[in-house]
Amino acid sequence: MSIHGLGPMVCLNASFTSACYFSLLGDHSQPFMDFMYLHNDGILQQENALCHWAQLVKNRFEEHSGEFRQTGWPA
Average confidence (pLDDT) over 2-23: 84
Q: 10 CB contacts (<8 Å, ≥6 apart)?
A: 24, 28
Whether 3 shows a pLDDT value over 80: the answer reads no
Domains identified in the chain, total number: 1
Segment 6-23 mean pLDDT? 87
Assess if residue 1 is contained within a domain.
no
Do residues 61 and 70 lie in contact, with contact meaning Cβ atoms separated by under 8 Å? yes
The answer to whether position 5 is within a domain reads no
Report if residue 27 sits inside a domain: yes
Mean pLDDT value across residues 21-26? 90
**pLDDT tens, position by position, 27-46:** 988 888 888 888 888 888 88
